[in-house]
Structure 1
Amino acid sequence: MTIRIAVFDAYGTLFDVAAAARRAAAEPGGAALAEHWQSLAAIWRDKQVQYTWHRAITGAHTDFWQVTCDSLDYALEATGLLGNAALRDRLLALYRELDAYPEVPEMLARLREAGMQTAILSNGAPGMLADAVNSAGIGDSLDAVLSVEEVGVFKPDARVYDLVGKHFPGDRAEVLFVSSNGWDAAGASGYGFTTAWVNRMGLPMERLPWTPQHVLADLTPIPDLATGT
């Protein structure tokens, strides 16, 4: 079936979630973070994902900004940096202007040139997503930025994936859903989307009921994959 719409997860897929810690460590006054930034970034991200799953399962929803703050506090304590208020504030500020991966602007531009509709579907809160999109300068390359806050539950709940059909009516298989999270790509595959897992770290395939149809090292092949060229 022909792909009409390319839908992207945001954090870790379009935006480099390690960028906030990396940039803060390189700034003047970042010496306390310099030897810990990689560990902090990894723990921060792991806890973000874990907390969204817990809140989705228990029904204790809050927005992703609160989850981001909570998971950062855990990561700061785990790396011995809890109590450094200035560092915490700086990391949170940088998270709202994460670097896009270098191939993102050209990849999105090629999709648009091919007449493809494009969107973000993210756990992110609307304000967070707006800041990230604006900072990366990719707003003109997107038809929609969809947040789970429309339904009040995190991925991989099917109500999140339903948002795509509400904004872009059509067959689910006409949607190419792209995520750097193996569990997200698996959930979207089970939902009926055509899926691509961007496996930048060369991780093993998740042992889940569904698997993505495509596995990529980065986003560069997405336009050819979407258009069948």
Structure 2
Amino acid sequence: MPVKACVFDAYGTLFDVAAAARAAAAEPGAERLAALWPKLAEIWRLKQLQYTWLRAVTGDHADFWAVTADGLDVAMEACGLAGDAALRARLLALYRELEAYPEVAEMLAALKAAGRTTAILSNGSPEMLDAAVANAGLADLLDAVISVEEVGVFKPHASVYALVERRLGASPAETLFVSSNGWDACCGAAFGFRTLWVNRAGDPMDRLPGRPAHVARDLSGVPALATAL
């Protein structure tokens, strides 16, 4: 069955989640952060994801912006930066304007030129996603930006993945789902999507019920893969 829709996770897949800490560390007066930013970015992302999973299990939902701020607070404390309100505000502001990976715009344009539906399916809140998409200049290259806030639970809950067919009219078999998160790619595959894991870091495959059929180091090959399937 031909691929009708190409659906992308946002954070870590289209947008570089380390960009906020890296950019803040390069600003004047940020010498202390310059030595710590990789550690801060790593802990921030880990806690952000952990809190989505825990909130999905407990049913205690909060939007992704609140979870992002909570994760940053833990990361700053772990790095000895707790109490720096100005730095916290700057990091959160930069997170709203994350850089897209360099191949993203060209890749999406190629998919659109081939007549495929393009969309984001993300844990992000609508406001966060709108800001990121606008900052990266991707609005005209996306047919839909779908947030988990429509169902009030984070990925990998099946109700999130079901939003694709509801919103785009593409069945799982007609959808190429692309994520840089190994757990997301595995769970998307288990749901029934045709799935690509963008494994930029060369990480091992997660041991979960599903397994993505395709793995790549970046997004540049997505248009050719969508055509080949």
- Scaled to the shorter chain, the TM-score interval is over 0.9
After TM superposition, the score normalised by the length of structure 1 is 0.99
Paired residues in the alignment total 229
1:80 aligns with 2:77: no
Aligned equivalent of 2:27 = 27
* Contact 2:196–2:216 (CA under 8 A) maintained in structure 1: yes
1:2, 1:152 → 2: CA distance?
A: 31
Query: CA offsets per residue over residues 102-144 of structure 1, 9 Å max, x none?
Result: 0000000000011010000000000000000000000000000
The two structures, once aligned, show a CA RMSD in angstroms of 0.8
Segment of structure 1 superposing worse, 120-129 or 167-176: 167-176
Letter in 2 for 1:13: T
Identity of aligned residues (%): 65
Q: How far apart, CA to CA, are the structure 1 residues paired with 2:8 and 2:170?
A: 17
1:132 equivalent in alignment to 2:140: no
Q: How does 1:104-115 map to 2 (within 5 A)?
A: 104-115=104-115
- Match of residue 90 from structure 1: 90
Q: CA deviation at 1:159?
A: 0.4
Match of 2:195 in 1: 195
Secondary structure of the equivalent of 1:153? coil
Q: Post-superposition shift, 1:155? A: 0.2
Q: Deviations over 1:173-199 (max 9, x none)?
A: 110000000100111101110000000
The Cα offsets for residues 147-184 of structure 1, whole Å up to 9 and x where unpaired, read as 00000000000000011011112321110000000100
Alignment of 1:11-160 (within 5 A): 11-160=11-160
TM-score for both structures, normalised by structure 2: 0.99
Which consecutive residues of structure 2, in runs of 5 or more, have no partner in the other structure? none
Which portions of structure 1, spanning 4 or more consecutive aligned residues, are displaced by more than 2 angstroms? none
Shift of 1:227: 1.2
